[in-house]
Amino acid sequence: MEQVRQLMGQVFGFRAFRGIQEAVIQHVLTGGDALVIMPTGGGKSLCYQLPALIRPGLGVVISPLIALMQDQVNSLKQLGVRAEFINSSLSGPEFRYVEERVENGEVDLLYMAPERLLMERNLEWFSRLRLSLFAIDESHCVSQWGHDFRPEYLELHRLGQLFPGVPRLALTATADGPTRQDILERLDLTHGRLFIAGFDRPNIRYHVVAKEGNSFNECLSFIRQHHEGQSGIIYHMTRKDTEETAQKMREKGYNALPYHAGMEQEERRRNQARFLKEEGVVMVATVAFGMGIDKPDVRFVAHLDLPKSVESYYQETGRAGRDGLPADAWLAYGLSDVVRLRQLVEGSEADDTHKRVALHKLEALLGYCETMACRRQVLLNYFENAHLGNCGNCDNCLSPAESWDGTEAARKALSCIYRTGQCFGVAHLVEVLRGEMSEKVVKHAHHQVTTFGIGKEMDVREWRAVFRQLVAAGYAQVDVTGYGGLRLDPSSRPILRGETTLMLRRDVARKQPRRRKTTTTPATKSSASGTLWDALRAKRLELAKEQSIPPYMIFSDVTLREMESRKPTSMREMADVFGIGQVKLERYGAIFLQVVKNHKA
């Protein structure tokens, strides 16, 4: 393994393995099969890239994302790794060129999509080659339990029989039990080893805010305060909202672009490329965006709508801060999200088992949103990682939430649901509680029910927070027909009878957590300000533009930060900087030495 470590330093410029990487690599090097579960940004790719460089023959990487293969291959080429891809974007001559290089043993890693891999012609070609391994990336795509099922992945179970002796490594960030088991069975890997990494992403700070109506302004002020000029992702549920929010962001002076599955492919491709290549782009997207994007310097991920499950949330937020520098995950959450998601699940056509699973997942997510405990602890417990709490890097740890005895309020709210016939939505229920003689109240004679006007002591916002928490906790159920009427769940009886107390979370306009030392100077500031950091970034951008690749493919921010603090004066010292392997040293070492030297002068 010492040699493997050396190779890692030489090629990638990394100093040590992270977590389970070493164990996985050792296992693959001895020819074993495995399923590797690691959080997004955890460092999965090294687990197959290094073995493919060491084992003789061609390493085949199966990836569902044709649009991103080129980026992955470009990154590797920057490191001097002999990587190629085969997909429909190649012209005839390009295709034959890659084929020839593969046959001459000049390629160590070949990326392709599953449907191409399993074409008879390709299988026949592979049978004549020496293969070092198969890496099945995003392997949760094989499972219907996962959130991104792709039927073509199902056929991959044949690989074991077709190519006995070639190790197969499936990788995913999706961790729940049923999906994991499903992947093992469907890929015929039940005999293989299961490697599960710790799921913590300590550099990500989690925030959840209660939303009232549209939370665009809150999101904007968060970005203004913490992430001016930095790149980030804003997630929305609908296509329309992504376009509207992107437009509003642009009006506020941000370099914001929309991304959703309904856009023309060409426009989608262009926006994605800009997000990768330019600095400081904010992508406003549906969940169609993100898989396979391994831009390391995404500084924030904001959710303006609730994701579907804790898994999705963790995967989406995991796209922030892959470089290990501080990053934020920010989520706005409100009653309308709860109502809509409950309707979506309960009203769906799915069979009971699927519904139960979906409902359970939704409950876990709502629990996360409402929790007063350390968010990291809740997240990690969900992934069966024990955590003692008090992480010091989530909103609840930084400014503890207040709780209050909501038993009486809950009783009033629940009886109001009951007295009005269990079919009205929250807006109406709050009017009744607050004793408002609205048209609708009068029409239904609800000024005559016993709960009319018994809740004047609390304002609309406070009542909505009570209802939200009751629905989130399952004491009240949302009707599935679409009008958002509430009815009682049997579990609410102990509260109504006064047999139990209920602590609720107080929604307060939270003060934004104190600002951290920014890790990257906003891209909007020009290099004219004259720091070494600016000079290094300007050089990086210039080199990236020349080659038409994203700046982070030249050097990551972490590498530039180290250069800034170490100020290397020789190639020897430059070689010690994190992220500088042999090939990058040869290509860029002297150029950046000069930048450091000029700056000193």
Query: Residue 296 binds what, of ligand ADP, Zn ion, none (CB under 5 to 8 Å, by partner type)?
Result: ligand ADP
Tokens of 341: 């998601």
Q: Which residue is nearest to ligand ADP (CB)?
A: 43
Identify what 369 binds: Zn ion, ligand ADP, none; CB under 5 to 8 Å per kind: none
Instruction: Report the C-alpha gap between 143 and 178 in whole angstroms.
Output: 9
- In DSSP terms, 14 is beta-bridged to none
Residue 227's nearest CA partner among 519, 510, 513, 540 is 519
Residue 173: CA count within 13 A, CB half-sphere: 24
> Is the CB of residue 341 less than 8 Å from the CB of residue 204?
no
Alpha helices by DSSP H, listed for 450-600, are 460-472, 493-496, 532-547, 551-554, 557-566, 571-575, 582-584, 590-600
Q: How far apart are CA 283 and CA 255, in angstroms?
A: 9
User: Per residue in 326-337, is it b (16+ CB within 10 Å) or e — as a string?
Assistant: bbbbbbbbbbbb
**Edge-to-edge strands of the sheet including 109-112?**
83-85, 109-112, 58-62, 131-136, 168-172, 34-37, 193-196
208 in contact with Zn ion (CB under 5 A)? no
Q: Which does 397 bind (CB under 5 to 8 A by kind): ligand ADP, Zn ion, none?
A: Zn ion
* Partner touching 394 among ligand ADP, Zn ion, none, CB below 5 to 8 Å by kind: Zn ion
The least distance separating Zn ion from the CB of residue 394, rounded to whole angstroms, comes to 3
Q: Count interface residues toward ligand ADP (CB under 6 A).
A: 16
Cα dist from 511 to 40, 80, 201, 329, 515, whole Å:
29, 48, 24, 16, 11
| Interacting partner of 333 out of Zn ion, ligand ADP, none (Cβ under 5 to 8 A depending on kind) | none
Q: Could you say which residues in the range 542-581 bind ligand ADP, by CB under 6 A?
A: none
CB of 327 to ligand ADP, least distance (A): 12
Q: What is the amino acid identity at position 433?
A: L
Q: Which is nearer to ligand ADP, 323 or 562 (CB)?
A: 323
| Shortest Å, Cβ 250 to ligand ADP | 29
d(CA 102, CA 97): 9
Binding mask 298-327 for ligand ADP (x = CB under 6 A): ------------------------xx----
**CA dist 578 → 1, 533, 584, 585 (Å):** 20, 16, 11, 11
Applying the rule CB under 6 A, the residues between 245 and 304 that interact with ligand ADP are: 294, 296
Would you count residue 391 as binding Zn ion (CB under 5 A)? Answer: yes
CB of residue 320 to ligand ADP, shortest distance in Å: 12
* Binding residues for ligand ADP restricted to 28-47, rule: CB under 6 A: 38, 40-46
- For residue 151, give Cα distances in angstroms to 113, 155, 174: 12, 8, 17
Which residue carries 């609390």 as its tokens?
A: 458
Q: Closer CB to ligand ADP, residue 75 or residue 527?
A: 75
Q: Which does 27 bind (CB under 5 to 8 A by kind): Zn ion, ligand ADP, none?
A: none
Within 344-383, which residues bind Zn ion (CB under 5 A)?
Answer: 374, 376
Give the β-pairing of 131-136 and 109-112: unpaired
- The single residue among 4, 11, 14, 79 that binds ligand ADP, judged by CB under 6 A, is 14
Residues 391-410 that bind ligand ADP (CB under 6 A): none
Q: How far is the CB of 205 from Zn ion (least distance, A)?
A: 9
Is there binding between residue 374 and ligand ADP (CB under 6 A)?
A: no
- In whole angstroms, the minimum distance from the beta carbon of 557 to ligand ADP comes to 10
DSSP 3-state of 165: coil
- Nearer CB in complex with ligand ADP: 41/64: 41
Residues in 187-226 at the binding interface with ligand ADP, rule: CB under 6 A: none
Smallest separation, CB 184 to ligand ADP (Å): 19
The three-state secondary structure class of 292 is coil
Element (DSSP H or E) covering residue 207: strand 204-210
- Angle at Cα 151 formed by Cα 149 and Cα 154, nearest 5°? 105
Q: Could you tell me the smallest distance in angstroms from the CB atom of residue 42 to ligand ADP?
A: 4
Minimum distance, C-beta of residue 376 to Zn ion, in the bound complex (Å): 5
Per CB under 5 A, the segment of 29-37, 318-326, 396-404, 544-552 that binds Zn ion is 396-404
Select from 47, 281, 320, 394 the one that contacts Zn ion (CB under 5 A).
Answer: 394
> Considering the complex, what minimum distance in angstroms separates the CB of residue 18 from ligand ADP?
4
Nearer to Zn ion, 175 or 394 (CB): 394
Tokens representing 237 are: 């549920």
User: What is the closest distance, in whole angstroms, from the C-beta atom of residue 17 to ligand ADP in the complex?
Assistant: 5
Tokens of 536: 């290094």
Contacting ligand ADP (CB under 6 A), which of 17, 275, 330, 588?
Answer: 17
104 C-beta neighbours (distance < 10 Å), count: 8
CA-CA-CA-CA torsion sign (563, 567, 571, 577): negative
Q: How far is the CB of 63 from ligand ADP (least distance, A)?
A: 11
Whole-angstrom distance, CA of residue 584 vs CA of residue 96:
28
CB of 478 closer than 8 Å to CB of 343:
yes
Say which amino acid occupies 364. A
Nearer to ligand ADP, 21 or 492 (CB): 21
391 vs 53, 302, 311, 376, 444, CA distance in Å?
38, 20, 20, 7, 50
Query: Residue 374 touches which of ligand ADP, Zn ion, none (CB < 5 to 8 A by kind)?
Result: Zn ion
Binding residues for Zn ion, rule: CB under 5 A, are 374, 376, 391, 394, 397
Binding residues for ligand ADP, rule: CB under 6 A, are 14, 17-18, 21, 38, 40-46, 294, 296, 322-323
